[in-house]
Amino acid sequence: MAFLLDRWEIDSDTRRIACDGFETRVSPKAMGVLLALDAAWGGVVSRDTLLDTVWPGVTVGEEVLTQAIAELRRAFGDDRRQPSAIETVHKRGYRLLLKRDPMQPPQSEGGLGPARGPSVAVLPFRALGSDEAALTLADGLSRDVSVSLARTRWLFVSALASSSALAAGGSGPVQAAARLGVRYILDGTVIVDGRRFRLSVSLCDATDGGTVWAEIVERPLDDLFEIIDSVAGAVAMAVESEIVFSERRRAMLSPIESLDAWGAFHRGTALASASDPGRLEEAEALLLRATSLAPDAPRILAATSALYFRRTCLAIPETHRQDRAKAVEFAERAVASDARDPMALMARGMNHVVAGEVEAGRARYQDAIALNRNFAHARYYLAYTSIYADDFSAGLQQMDFAHRLSPVDPMRFSFLAARGQLHSLHGEVEEGADLADRALSEPNANFWNHCIAAWCAERAGRRDTAGRYAAALKAQRPDFRREDYFAIFQFSDTNRRAVETAFDGIGL
């Protein structure tokens, strides 16, 4: 990170401080103190905050901080008694006096360039009152939410230490976002009242100061660690979803020619769930634009792979062979860019499964969930591999989790169809038929939904309904063959026979 403080050039990566031909380098800890003071510019940062920020998890004496401050003063040629760079505020801490050059706004590591994508900072949640449980919950929740969001890997999360230093300096959400170089700020307060606690949390878009999302969570005050784990996961999941929806809305309202890589990505993924070939072509153009602007961004590459995978599943004859090859190509590029990106791993898993390598695909989905337990689509695809493995209870568990994570998902038509197949093949044929039927009323439902609804209705004894759905399927795909279905849905022999029997009953 490089920036200007008055006339001083600062490069935190090389720890270089330079001005008018003079140049020096400081120790890593001294640079850490400078960055913490800069993050809270205009405010006093206490000694305890600086020690916790720069020496986290280490017990050290205050003399190490005194030495770091002295080192910085020497670098800036500063006088402790008449300071122009760093002021000692008696019994309170230190304040940075040097001002940022107005033409050089702060940039978090990596900058705000198109390849980094959306960015967020979690301000330390505040405990209202001095109750020890409230203090523990506020600290634990803010830390765990920050860690959970960072696991997405597509979302840049500012270091909690920097956010803590800013909060200590009294910065508001918009000011904090500007100082940290992020678009979104998550803030929260914790209240403990007897044996219950309440978390009020809000997500702010710093570009206009508006609140994107707000929620109040109340729980009995039982096991503090269990509360932190469950509530932090739920908050992180909601924040991730809201940022995605906010970015999509922003991208859909922007002229296409003005979109950066992440704008094109969000606009493309908003169209990628469509079944209409024209909209899929538009999604392809947008995602290819995004990959050209950010050729090494794993999430963008993975989304492009997923688009071609979807076109493969829709069996568009004109491009089927090329789509299959491109799905594999972009998945491999995504994994090569970041082998620990959950979406890249999911893309590779999808391609394993469609190639008949179900166990390899299942393993990649599990790897993706291990990295981000709130990844709804990975759980959805894992549920399908559970059907193939005849593990219905595991499949339903994954689908329940996926639905809780993303209740209004653009792929809801497919979520419901997956649940319908699970229930029907598990012997719960009435519930299976109902779910498959509901999927047809969802946006972007396609001929596969008619196929699934037809055989699920047949298994439930709803012969007239099954015939109606089969006729709708044939109208959409006159050349449909049951082999097309089993090329995508690779059931075990037992389940395949069950579905084939239903196909026989409705003449497919």
Q: CA–CA separation, 472 vs 452, rounded Å?
A: 12
- The Cα 373–Cα 342 span in angstroms is 10
**In the Cβ-directed half-sphere of 476, how many Cα atoms lie within 13 Å?**
17
Fold of 119-247: Rossmann fold (3.40.50)
pLDDT of residue 106: 40
| Residue 109 vs residue 22, higher pLDDT | 22
Is residue 80 predicted with pLDDT exceeding 70?
yes
Cα separation, 154 vs 119, in Å, equals 9
Is 70 exceeded by the pLDDT of residue 71?
yes
Residue closest to 349 by CA, chosen among 333, 367, 336: 367
User: How many residues are recorded in the chain?
Assistant: 508
Selection from 265-274, 326-335, 353-362 with the highest mean pLDDT: 326-335
Which H, E and C letters describe 254-305, residue by residue?
Answer: CCHHHCCHHHHHHHHHHHCCCCCHHHHHHHHHHHHHHHHHCCCCHHHHHHHH
Q: What average pLDDT does the segment 2-9 reach?
A: 75
pLDDT tops 90 at residue 331? yes
Q: What is the DSSP string of 194-215?
A: TTEEEEEEEEEETTTTEEEEEE
Which residue matches tokens 């508001």?
172
Which pLDDT belongs to residue 111? 34
The mean per-residue pLDDT over the stretch 97-121 comes to: 53
Q: What is residue 252's predicted lDDT score, i.e. its pLDDT?
A: 76
Which tokens in the block code for residue 466? 């099954």
In the three-class reduction of DSSP (H, G, I as helix; E, B as strand; rest coil), residue 84 is classed as coil
Reported as a single tens digit per residue, the pLDDT across 185-225 is 999 999 988 888 899 999 988 877 788 889 898 888 887 77
Per DSSP (E only), the strands in 26-145 are: 86-89, 93-96, 119-122, 126-127
Q: What is residue 170's predicted lDDT score, i.e. its pLDDT?
A: 60
Pair 95, 130: CB distance under 8 Å = no
**Taking the chain, what is the end-to-end CA distance rounded to the nearest angstrom?**
62
Check the CA dihedral 93-99-105-109 and report its sign: negative
Looking at residue 308, its pLDDT comes to 94
pLDDT tens digits, 281-324: 999 999 999 999 888 888 899 999 999 999 888 876 667 789 99
CA 272 distance to own-chain centroid? 18
Q: Give pLDDT tens digits for 141-183.
A: 888 888 788 777 677 787 665 666 656 556 667 777 777 778 8
How far is 33 from 53, CA to CA, in rounded Å? 8
* Every domain of the chain and the residues it spans: 2-96, 119-247, 410-508
Percent of the chain whose predicted confidence (pLDDT) is above 70: 92
3-state SS record for 370-412: HHCCCCHHHHHHHHHHHHHCCCHHHHHHHHHHHHHHCCCCCCH
Could you tell me if 143 and 159 are in contact, meaning their C-beta atoms sit under 8 angstroms apart?
no
What mean pLDDT is predicted for residues 102-110?
A: 38
pLDDT of residue 21: 63
Which CATH fold topology does 410-508 show? Answer: 1.25.40
Return the pLDDT at 160.
65
In Å, how far are 417, 440, 446, 450, 466 from 413, measured between CA atoms? Answer: 6, 7, 9, 11, 18
| Most trustworthy range by pLDDT among 7-21, 59-73, 138-152, 251-265 | 59-73
CATH 2.60.120.10 fits 2-96, yes or no: no
